[in-house]
Amino acid sequence: MPCRDLAEELTAAVAGAVQKIFGFATAFGPLLTDLAFAFDAAREQYHSTPILKRLAEDAPEWALKIIALVEVDLFIPILTHVYGEAQLGGKACIVSSYRLNDESWRHNAREKFLQRMIKEAIHELGHTFNLRHCRDHRCIMHYCRSEADVDLKSEELCRYCRILLLDEIKKLTAW
Ligand SMILES: [Zn+2]
Ligand SMILES: [Zn+2]
């Protein structure tokens, strides 16, 4: 993150949103400090899939899900870049601030950046709870091709996705 207090504000904001949408407690700390293993020299970007694999392996056992917030530009081979990636129904997901932090904003730059990061974080976490892409463009599970798409969607799940999430959480927490 560009500065320390923004990073703290970001993690606090994401934690608050995660708690609100998923109802689980969150904890923050450094996990993967060196992403060199995922760097693609030809593309000068980081391949997100091997990072997810490593995150899932390194996650503490008590963690139900793990999300990494990174600054580097991420890609998967079929796309020029991604805002994030998730293991569908798995443990790990990742979100990058690289494309979401637009310095051309004059007003509310900070607030807008935080909102975008929250939306993409919830979106990727949603995938780890087995949620697929949603056609409702206001739904947080809507697939966004541009930053404008991200700005357009709300910070909420649509009714349909909310029901799917509750079902999934019920399954996860049933003993
Ligand atoms: Zn998605
Ligand atoms: Zn939806």
Distance 123 CA to ligand 1 centre (A): 6
Contacts of 37 (CB under 8 A, 6+ apart): 50, 54
**Model-wide pTM > 0.95:** no
Distance 83 CA to ligand 2 centre (A): 19
State how many domains the chain has: 1
1 is a domain residue: no
At 156, which CATH number?
3.40.390.10
Closest listed residue to residue 146, CA positions, set 106, 110, 111, 116: 116
Strand partners, 70: 96
* Confidence check: pLDDT of 3 > 90: no
Integer Cα distance of 123 and 111 in angstroms? 18
* Interior/surface letters 124-140, b for 16+ CB within 10 angstroms, e for the rest: bbbbbbebeebeeeebb
pLDDT of residue 33: 86
* Interior/surface letters 25-38, b for 16+ CB within 10 angstroms, e for the rest: ebeeeeeeeebeeb
Distance 86 CA to ligand 1 centre (A): 8
Distance 67 CA to ligand 1 centre (A): 14
Distance 138 CA to ligand 2 centre (A): 8
- Indicate the pairing of strand 39-40 with strand 74-75: unpaired
Catalytic residue among 8, 120, 124, 147: 124
Residue range of the domain that includes 68: 7-173
Percent of the chain with pLDDT over 90: 80
14 is a domain residue: yes
**Averaged pLDDT score across all residues of the chain:** 92
pLDDT of residue 13: 94
> What is the DSSP code (8-state) at residue 47?
E
pLDDT of residue 8: 87
Indicate which ligand has the atom closest to the C-alpha of 79.
1
125 is a domain residue: yes
Query: What is the average pLDDT across 155-164?
Result: 97
pLDDT of residue 105: 58
Distance 144 CA to ligand 2 centre (A): 13
* Confidence check: pLDDT of 1 > 50: no
Indicate which ligand has the atom closest to the C-alpha of 133.
1
Indicate which ligand has the atom closest to the C-alpha of 161.
2
Closest listed residue to residue 53, CA positions, set 70, 38, 63, 73: 38
pLDDT tens profile 12-34 = 999 999 999 999 999 988 888 89
Cβ(77)–Cβ(29) under 8 Å? no
Exposed/middle/buried for residue 3 (C-beta within 10 Å: 0-12, 13-18, 19+): exposed
Query: What is the average pLDDT across 121-142?
Result: 97
* Confidence check: pLDDT of 140 > 60: yes
pLDDT tens profile 60-118 = 999 999 999 999 999 999 999 999 999 999 999 999 999 998 766 566 788 889 999 99
Asked about 155 being catalytic, the answer comes back as no
pLDDT of residue 104: 63
Cβ(84)–Cβ(50) under 8 Å? no
Query: What is the average pLDDT across 136-155?
Result: 94
53 is a domain residue: yes
Indicate which ligand has the atom closest to the C-alpha of 139.
2
Closest listed residue to residue 75, CA positions, set 41, 99, 45: 45
pLDDT of residue 103: 66
2 is a domain residue: no
131 is a domain residue: yes
